[in-house]
Structure 1
Amino acid sequence: MALWAISLGSAEAQLSLAKVFSSGMVLQRDQPIQVWGKATPGAVVSVRLFDTAATRSKMTQKEARVAADSTWQLALEAQKANARPQVLQVISNRDTLTLNDLLIGDIWICAGQSNMAFMPKNDRFAAASLQNATNPKLRLLNYQPSVSVYDVPYTVGEIPNLQPEHFYLPSTWQTADSVSARDFSAVGFYFGQMVQRETGVPIGLITVAVGGSPAEAWVRPQTVAGNANLEPMFRGDWLDNPSLEPWCIERGYQNLDNLLATNLALPGDSLGVNHPFKPGFLYQAGIAPLLGLSIRGVLWYQGESNALSLRRVQQHEQLFPALVRDWRQQWRQGDFPFYFCQLSSIGTEKGYRSEHWPEFRDSQRRMAETIPNTGMAVTSDVGHPSDVHPTDKKTVSERLARVALADTYGRKIAARGPSPQKVRQQGKQIILTFQNSDKALKTKDAQPLAGFELEDKAGIRHPAQATISGNKVHVIKPENSNWQRVLYGWQPFSAGNLQNAAGLPASTFQLNIAVSD
């Protein structure tokens, strides 16, 4: 694990804590508090945690002996949520490290690509949100890449940054305010604001998102062993791998060509030169260093780089469950919550390759229903016709927060949009029954119901009229055709406007039509 030397008491000792530890951090409540670092081999490290407002009799303390490789690790006993400042002291020989202003609460990891990395300063609600950003019970740890993911050549001076331990710029925990929040993840920040406000529990957010990154960059190669469809993604030089996304490979060459032309040794392994889009690299750089840290869950917003072809969509439908399963196994905290944002909407008119986004969104819908302890925020109604980075991240993150508040924090609130449960033909209509209607279905802004289509036996789609009746949608069936499938929101830039009474939208979906009895 990457380590950060906080202080040195002598030339001989090298007492340090892992990078994730600093003053101002949040420690995960209700779970053993893992603490680790480096020190002189054979020495004893003592760690104690105490409340600055309480007596030392309430202090929790543990000791560990440093291994021959200079590493040490121990677990303090679990603590209840506590918004009073705590002190963590680490002592070994003559060295003492002191971290102040620690809170006990819930830690959420924010990962994915550019829509998770998208910052509050660029959000449409930036002015008001940043003006009200200060919250002593919301803490932020912002890891940002040290190299660009745009189409610029890397320089010789950036070669060290391609080592996993140097890929992210150094960072420390900050209390949320207008300065620390402006360059953080907007989705993460707004999520944290809402959850902290509604629960009163201190919230810590760690962002490791990297723009453009494909899902496979966040997956260990060992995760896909034995999967004939996924193993080829992790075989041979990634810059010459036809199983991967051509756009990602092209960007890799744009960044690395300048260095590949030299005779310099470049960081890498059997999969090729390191790069943020290389399979497995971001897991190694961003996730592995956090695995010792107890957390509450993960927030994920990613998919654009895995939705540029039908082949990639189908890959992702196997890759994403493998990612979730492996992260949970590596963290060793059971099936912790893993909440994700659905891809939004964007048109193809300006050349963006979004023609397979409906398939991707529907795939995400189905995975949210089948992967244990997951939840999804639908975002297709707040997309942009020509911008892959919609600027309304507040709505997106508050929907994600609703899922967490309902499923993780036990709040009795509407958390999901309408979900189709049954479809059947009856006379001249096709009737769809929905759950999560929150008493009744409705349309956005009280406009006529839109976005429904019927597919005939030849696979041709036809726009369809539809009406709402309670928790059902009645689709008018044109005569003289045999219909096999009903679709909703099946456009790259979705025309769907179906919501429940709480204003939460329905996902893109397609369902086979059953003949009525």
Structure 2
Amino acid sequence: MDYGVTITRGVAPWQIFQQGPGGTACIRLEGKYHLVHLSQELPLQFSAVPHAKTTVKARVALESTGESVVPWTECTVLDSENWTITFPRVPAGGLYRIETYMDYEGWDGLSCTRGDMVHNVGVGDVFVIAGQSNAAGRAKNPVADDPELGVHVLRTSARWELATHPLGETTNALHVGHYENHNPGHSPWLHFAKRLKRELGYPIGLVPCAYGGAPLRWWNPEENGALFTNMLEMLADYDIHPRAVLWYQGEAEGYEDSAQTYLERFAAFVRHTRAALGQPELPFLTVQLNRCMEGPSEKLDRQWGMVREAQRQAWHTLEHVTVVPAADLALYDFIHNASEGNLVVGERCARAALAECYGRDVDWMAPEPESVVQTAPDTVTVRFSRIRNWLNPFGVPAALLPFEAEDAQGLAAPKAYETGADSLTITFERPLGADARLHGAWRMNPGAAIPSDCMRMPMLSFYGVPVEQG
């Protein structure tokens, strides 16, 4: 019933507003008001009230206590039925409810003064989820990852809700640009958002736009760009300028034989996204590819190796881009992360976000080769950066060590190795040529033992790192 004050635009239940640099959000509401008289006897009868001078008021209150965050404030009454108000500085926090009411000259005690309320609104940070199936989430194995008030999701229905798995489900979908042909599953991002909310103390919103099987060209507007357009349309519904983009993609490139140009095309996607949103420093928090059990195929192995290397290089060459490893995590099927693996991805990305987006002193960066030096005709020493504890290759036989050298003669496998605190000295099955390069954890399935900084995280995969002469 349109009696009393109604809110028609500006806020929705469960909505998370992206805060600005000052830690506040501007919330502008529009609505209507209707003067109605209620009968004294039941059943209620409603009758019109002659127009009179009307005052509409609104406030922002804490859901938890009812205390005013923004006190009752008089709205601008535009004409005989429309009103508007702007709350210019609603502080980061919540959950809030927005309340309205009205009064008018000649009120007789029975005429309607009630107003709409919108519940469970927050001001905090919003993250958009982009990529393909491991970003959308495919795992169906059970894991505890409960919903939590203050972590909300914008569904494909264009409605905000309490965030629950699967984040990208398509009930009543209005945005069908990434409409899945089957139900998605568990993904990393609910855990990611809960971790940030607990650290930062304010709500987190998620906008899932990822699509299973999507190659980078569907995101890059210089190629196809359909998913890029769909993402912008979803954000435009609520005028969202997100805090960062969560990006997990690249498996499709191997099947399209397009890994060689991944870095330049990803850079184009980043550039166009930042330009379209007017956010030149928008962070991209990315995940390096996990394993795939399909194969074996040397062609696909090389494609995956090149994509992983491009993801590593994006971190080093593009500003405000991070990358975390995933090659050590359990799978749900031949290519998709298991639910427990998703929790780890969410944790690693949250730590990267705390450092990149919020300047926190958080140890989030994975080890990677700092130098690769040939110390004998058949031997190289790989020294790793960011080893906080000690390098752990898990004592596997040399044949299972996920490294291979390559020169003009082809690939060479390890036959022995020695472990230092932050280094591996690897002896190969033959002498290496002057043009040798080293690949690490590069194949689609790089094996079960990815060398790690013990008690912390595995190294990043790499491909084609030049071997220096010692």
TM-score, shorter chain, exceeding 0.5: yes
Q: CA deviation at 1:83?
A: 2.9
Give the 3 Å change call, closer, same or farther, for CA 110–454 of structure 1 in structure 2. Answer: same
Q: CA deviation at 1:361?
A: 0.9
Counterpart among 123, 134, 147 of residue 134 in structure 1: 147
Give the AA of the match of 1:424.
Answer: V
Counterpart among 390, 406, 418 of residue 355 in structure 2: 406
Give the AA of the match of 1:439.
Answer: N
Give the AA of the match of 2:242.
Answer: I
For normalisation by structure 1, the TM-score amounts to 0.67
Counterpart among 411, 423, 430 of residue 460 in structure 1: 411
Give the 3 Å change call, closer, same or farther, for CA 174–353 of structure 1 in structure 2. Answer: farther
- 1:203 corresponds in structure 2 to 204
SS in 1 for 2:392: strand
Give the 3 Å change call, closer, same or farther, for CA 173–451 of structure 1 in structure 2. Answer: same
Tell me, yes or no, if the aligned pair for 1:453 and 1:464 is still in contact at 8 Å: no
- 2:106 corresponds in structure 1 to none
Q: CA deviation at 1:512?
A: 0.6
Give the 3 Å change call, closer, same or farther, for CA 330–34 of structure 1 in structure 2. Answer: farther
- 2:288 corresponds in structure 1 to 342
Return the alpha-carbon distance in structure 2 between the equivalents of residues 451 and 179 of structure 1. Answer: 34
Task: Please give the per-residue CA displacement for 1:232-262, whole angstroms capped at 9, x wherever unaligned.
Answer: x4xxxxxxxxxxxxxxxxxxxxxxxxxxxxx
Q: CA deviation at 1:102?
A: 0.7
Asked if 1:499 is matched to 2:466, the reply is no
- 1:515 corresponds in structure 2 to 469
Q: Whose strand proportion is higher, 1 or 2?
A: 2
Tell me, yes or no, if the aligned pair for 2:95 and 2:150 is still in contact at 8 Å: no
- 2:426 corresponds in structure 1 to 475
Asked if 1:294 is matched to 2:241, the reply is yes
Q: CA deviation at 1:57?
A: 5.4
Query: Structure 1: any 5+ residue segments left out of the alignment?
Result: 1-6, 41-45, 66-72, 144-169, 225-232, 234-278
Q: Map 1:35-46 onto structure 2 (within 5 A).
A: none
- 1:157 corresponds in structure 2 to none
- 2:387 corresponds in structure 1 to 437
Q: CA deviation at 1:87?
A: 1.8
Q: CA deviation at 1:34?
A: 5.8
Return the alpha-carbon distance in structure 1 between the equivalents of residues 260 and 244 of structure 2. Answer: 26
Give the 3 Å change call, closer, same or farther, for CA 475–350 of structure 1 in structure 2. Answer: closer
Counterpart among 286, 310, 314 of residue 260 in structure 2: 314
Task: Please give the per-residue CA displacement for 1:31-60, whole angstroms capped at 9, x wherever unaligned.
Answer: 4636689999xxxxx996623433475478
Query: Structure 2: any 5+ residue segments left out of the alignment?
Result: 33-55, 79-83, 103-112, 170-183
Q: CA deviation at 1:407?
A: 2.5
Q: CA deviation at 1:315?
A: 3.1
Task: Please give the per-residue CA displacement for 1:423-442, whole angstroms capped at 9, x wherever unaligned.
Answer: 22234642222212123222
- 1:50 corresponds in structure 2 to 60
SS in 1 for 2:128: strand
Give the 3 Å change call, closer, same or farther, for CA 457–349 of structure 1 in structure 2. Answer: closer
Return the alpha-carbon distance in structure 1 between the equivalents of residues 75 and 418 of structure 2. Answer: 64
SS in 1 for 2:388: coil
SS in 2 for 1:198: helix
SS in 1 for 2:468: coil
Q: CA deviation at 1:393?
A: 1.7
Give the AA of the match of 2:427.
Answer: I
Task: Please give the per-residue CA displacement for 1:427-464, whole angstroms capped at 9, x wherever unaligned.
Answer: 464222221212322235x5457111111333333335
Return the alpha-carbon distance in structure 1 between the equivalents of residues 376 and 75 of structure 2. Answer: 72
Q: Whose helix proportion is higher, 1 or 2?
A: 1
- 1:369 corresponds in structure 2 to 316
Tell me, yes or no, if the aligned pair for 1:15 and 1:95 is still in contact at 8 Å: no
Give the AA of the match of 1:139.
Answer: H
- 2:130 corresponds in structure 1 to 111
Tell me, yes or no, if the aligned pair for 1:141 and 1:171 is still in contact at 8 Å: yes
Return the alpha-carbon distance in structure 1 between the equivalents of residues 269 and 235 of structure 2. Answer: 16
For normalisation by structure 2, the TM-score amounts to 0.73
Give the AA of the match of 2:459.
Answer: A
Give the AA of the match of 1:203.
Answer: I
Give the AA of the match of 1:33.
Answer: A
After superposition, the CA RMSD in angstroms is 4.0
Asked if 1:24 is matched to 2:11, the reply is no
Return the alpha-carbon distance in structure 1 between the equivalents of residues 101 and 385 of structure 2. Answer: 52
SS in 1 for 2:300: coil
Return the alpha-carbon distance in structure 2 between the equivalents of residues 179 and 303 of structure 1. Answer: 21
Return the alpha-carbon distance in structure 1 between the equivalents of residues 199 and 69 of structure 2. Answer: 32
Give the 3 Å change call, closer, same or farther, for CA 481–110 of structure 1 in structure 2. Answer: closer
Give the 3 Å change call, closer, same or farther, for CA 387–63 of structure 1 in structure 2. Answer: farther
Q: CA deviation at 1:127?
A: 4.0
- 1:82 corresponds in structure 2 to 93
SS in 2 for 1:307: helix
Give the AA of the match of 2:60.
Answer: F
SS in 2 for 1:320: helix
Give the 3 Å change call, closer, same or farther, for CA 460–205 of structure 1 in structure 2. Answer: same
Return the alpha-carbon distance in structure 2 between the equivalents of residues 340 and 116 of structure 1. Answer: 10
Give the 3 Å change call, closer, same or farther, for CA 23–447 of structure 1 in structure 2. Answer: same
Q: Map 1:352-431 onto structure 2 (within 5 A).
A: 354-355=300-301, 356-382=303-329, 384=331, 387-391=334-338, 392-427=341-376, 429-431=379-381
Give the AA of the match of 2:240.
Answer: L
- 2:108 corresponds in structure 1 to none
Give the 3 Å change call, closer, same or farther, for CA 57–193 of structure 1 in structure 2. Answer: closer
Return the alpha-carbon distance in structure 2 between the equivalents of residues 171 and 198 of structure 1. Answer: 28
Give the 3 Å change call, closer, same or farther, for CA 448–86 of structure 1 in structure 2. Answer: farther
Tell me, yes or no, if the aligned pair for 2:25 and 2:92 is still in contact at 8 Å: no
Asked if 1:99 is matched to 2:86, the reply is no
Give the 3 Å change call, closer, same or farther, for CA 396–17 of structure 1 in structure 2. Answer: same
- 1:262 corresponds in structure 2 to none
